[in-house]
Structure 1
Amino acid sequence: MHMLAKARRIGVVMAAVAVVSAGVVGAGPAGGYGHGVLQADVRSVQAAGGDVTVLAEVSTGQGTVRARTGAQVPWDAQFRTASTSKTFTAALVLRLVADGKLSLDDTVEKWLPGVVSRNGNDGTKITVRDLLQQTSGLFDYVQDPDVFRAITEDFERHRYDATPAAQWVAVAMQHRPLFVPDHAHPRWAYSNTNYLLAGMIAEKAGGAGWREQVESRIIAPLGLRHTYIPGADPFLPGPHAQVYLRTPDGGRLDVTEHSLQHTADSGVVSTTADLDAFFRALVTGRLLPKAQLAEMQRTVARTGATEDLAEWPEGGYGLGLRWNPLSCGGGYWHHEGDGLGSYTRTGVTPDGRRAVAVSVTSSGSRPDLVSLNKATRKLVDHALCGTGR
């Protein structure tokens, strides 16, 4: 789950590697951009992240450029995308909207009677749109002290937990909301609880599980052969990097295998190539009709989001998508993922011609996400603008 998807507050990181290798498939883009620039940017991301390995892949429209920090990261490594899964969930909900199965203006109470209630929480005042654009004000279940402590201090005991989404929502309901939605003047606060509820609503509206619908309506039609949702299965059967967690006594614990990230806020496993393909398909209209894509790309300001603004100083948030500016003009769409030692960064130009995906894997102390994001934003900017240093 995002116990995970916001494990930015959990502290997990991966082994440092000194040697950087790069690969190129097809022609590089115009303007001098190529594997040399990407290799240098990957080194910078590694330096900013600390003890991390990095894999990056850029789709240029003319070919693919790849770079990695040594053979510890397979070229076709699979990884838990953490909160980048939210874009998959938002796309599924919007597919259901396009099919007339539900409306973005439907309330949570309509689909999940009594689920969002108590302690000032009121599902009659929260819409599906609020969930997807993070304007519900609901408490983030990952920040519950008991949940946080279980993951940071007692991981081995909870490694194979497969708690249903509804139980995590119930944990969030034990806390008062940060605010009540004001649809005339939206307030913004990132909460993984929103996407648990979005997944539960998608199940009601679509008549099948969140996992099954994402696989049948998004992954399979796009031919994303190395993207899947393992659910409670703790294993990554394909090639992957090992992920380590620093234990309270200073030791290292291999956390590669676990069942914790299995819900609609963080349950997708993918590769850099598949993520490039997914985001390109999304923005070019292969997944959604024009009206629903426009809704997805309608952003709100992240008012008062102190920590989030520190990590992402510019840009707005749509429905499971972020918008950030580019140095060459315009901007790009993306969604990050911060999980248990696995950090995902993405980017795609509005026309879908260029896309980039970055996987950062950690071992030891958690990276400073302000520094890590600054370095990955520079990598993404170079990749999408087709420029170098």
Structure 2
Amino acid sequence: MPPVRTLLAAAVVLVLVALPRAAASPHTAPADDAFLAPLVTRGGAPAAALLVREDDGTRYAEAGQDIDRADHFRGGSVTKTFVATVVLQLAAEHRLSLTDPVETYLPGLVRGAGNDGRALTLRHLLTHTSGLYDFTADTGGTVPVTPLQAVRIALTHPPADRGRFSYSNTNYVLLGLVVERITGHSYAAEAERRLITPLGLNGTSFPGSRTSLPAPHGHAYAADGADVTVLDPRVAGAAGELVTTLADLDRFYAALLGGELLSPRWLREMLDTRAAHGSYGMGLFPRRLDCGVTVWGHTGRIAGSYVRTAATVDGRRVLTFRVNTDAVASPGLEPALLAAEFCPRTR
């Protein structure tokens, strides 16, 4: 059990640190900060932090110990937004079509137990409507595997109904292989060249098999309190390998939704949720808050880290929060925090 857990009983030691905001901000009271401490007390995390990016600057808050604004952490499935953006850029360059069968790029690979890459398109993979089994259901997200091993694990199981939304990490492992087949470079190298370097995301990387986090970083804890800061990222691969920072995720999603990375046509394609019946676009999903506002973004969960990025559809306001454990124990806390930031407030 990490020592920081012993601090949870004394709520008075929880620290909220908020940077000042310009007076012109439409949110004069940072109500979302008040929802951060409960992520530690009721959400079961040793520590939590958030960073909001908007037109008039940024605002940071933290709760608990051993967490900092500049920390590197594992981003989990926010990796999927990066991979989907690369695929859509390749589509814009006419190097692939979303209607192409998976078989076109990975001949003979997706076969077995009723799975057939000839009947699956890249759109199926991007929107999680392929029906392919999620390999991490067998590995528990803790066993390092190569992409081919991940796919072979998935193919020992029959598919779910094709065309029905069913979230599966296998889809994005396959997309990583497709990117490599088309470009001759790994998905990581393409994401670095196309996204990370142009946007100056200096804290973001694809670590490959590197088990340590870059400095600075805090500790990461499993739900049972075990320290899992050292982790082989190959447990997730193209579905969740990324290491990043709060500021980099805010910058990336602001740039993506603001039209810096995709043309209007391809950004509309990314936000189109019809294939997944409203549940998912391509590397992004919408969340309609109780006040009627819809935000876009992604969650990321990997051993020792949970992160959530949400943004307005134009990317002008972005919030990223994270906890240094696997999940938020109280499910109502996340939507409450998002509503505090994105829903209009009466004065």
Q: TM-score, normalised by structure 1?
A: 0.81
Equivalent residue, structure 2, for 1:359? 322
1:24-173 mapped onto 2 (5 Å cutoff): 24-27=19-22, 29-34=25-30, 37-144=31-138, 147-148=139-140, 151=142, 161=144, 163-173=145-155
**Distance in 2 between residues matched to 1:333 and 1:120, nearest whole Å:** 34
The CA distance in 2 between the partners of 1:341 and 1:202, in whole Å, is 28
Alignment partner for residue 256 of structure 2, among 278, 282, 289?
Answer: 282
Q: How far off its partner does 1:383 sit?
A: 1.6
The SS at the match of 2:111 is coil
1:38 CA drift (Å): 2.9
1:338 CA drift (Å)? 1.3
The answer to whether the 8 Å contact 1:169/1:193 transfers is yes
Residue 235 and residue 334 in structure 1: after superposition, are their counterparts in 2 closer, same or farther (change >3 A)?
Answer: same
* Offset of residue 170 of structure 1: 0.7
Equivalent in 165, 178, 184 of residue 201 of structure 1? 178
Alpha-carbon separation, structure 2, partners of 1:53 and 1:302: 34
Distance 1:170 1:51 in 2: 35
Supply the distance in 2 between the matched residues of 1:221 and 1:386 (Cα, whole angstroms). Answer: 34
Which of 283, 297, 302 is matched with 1:320 structurally?
283
Whether contact under 8 Å (1:332, 1:350) holds in the other structure is yes
Shift of 1:40: 0.7
User: 1:72-97 deviations in whole A, cap 9, x for unaligned?
Assistant: 10121111110111111100100111
**Deviation at 1:66?**
1.1
Match of 1:312 in 2: none
- Cα distance in 1 between the residues matched to 2:32 and 2:70: 17
1:257 matched to 2:230 = yes
Q: Which of 292, 295, 303 pairs up with 2:266?
A: 292
State whether residues 76 and 300 of structure 2, in contact with CA within 8 Å, keep that contact through their aligned partners in structure 1. yes
Distance apart, 1:71 and its partner CA: 4.1
Q: CA deviation at 1:33?
A: 3.0
Q: CA shift at 1:302, angstroms? A: 5.7
Asked whether 1:236 is paired with 2:206, we answer no
Aligned residue type for 2:16: S
Cα-Cα RMSD: 2.3
Q: Is the 8 A contact 1:33 1:388 kept in 2?
A: no
What is aligned with 2:343?
A: 385
* Alignment match of 2:297 (pick from 331, 334, 340): 334
How far is 1:279 from its partner? 0.6
User: Structure 1 stretch 316-325 or stretch 132-141: which is displaced more?
Assistant: 316-325
Q: CA deviation at 1:386?
A: 5.6
Q: Which has the higher contact order (CA 8 A, sep 6+)?
A: 1
The one-letter amino acid paired with 1:21 is L
Choose 316-325 or 375-384, whichever is displaced more.
Answer: 375-384
Contact map agreement 1:382 1:388 (CA 8 A) in 2: no
Counterpart in the other structure of 1:175: 157
Q: Distance in 1 between matches of 2:242 and 2:193?
A: 13
Write the distance in 2 (CA, Å) between the matches of 1:323 and 1:231.
29
3-state SS of 2:222 partner: strand
Q: Give 5+ residue unaligned stretches, structure 2.
A: none
**1:382 CA displacement:** 1.9
Answer whether contact 1:296 1:318 (CA < 8 A) is retained: yes
TM (norm. structure 2) is 0.91
Alpha-carbon distance, 1:244 to partner = 2.2
- Is 1:213 aligned to residue 190 of structure 2? yes
Calculate percent identity across the aligned residue pairs.
37
Determine if contact 1:33/1:386 at 8 Å carries over to the other structure.
Answer: no
Deviation at 1:225, TM superposition (A): 1.3
Q: 1:367 to 1:335 in 2, by over 3 A?
A: closer
Large movers: runs of 4+ above 2 Å: 14-18, 31-34, 44-48, 244-247, 300-303, 326-330, 384-389
* Structure 1: runs of 5 or more not aligned: 1-13, 152-157, 304-314
Letter in 1 for 2:320: A
One-letter amino acid of the counterpart of residue 177, structure 1: P
Shift in alpha-carbon separation, 1:268–1:21, aligned structure 2, 3 A: same
> Structure 1 residue 361: deviation in Å?
1.1
Q: Distance in 2 between matches of 1:125 and 1:67?
A: 47
**Aligned mates of 1:245, 1:325 — CA distance in 2:** 30
Number of residues paired by the alignment? Answer: 338
1:346 aligns with 2:274: no
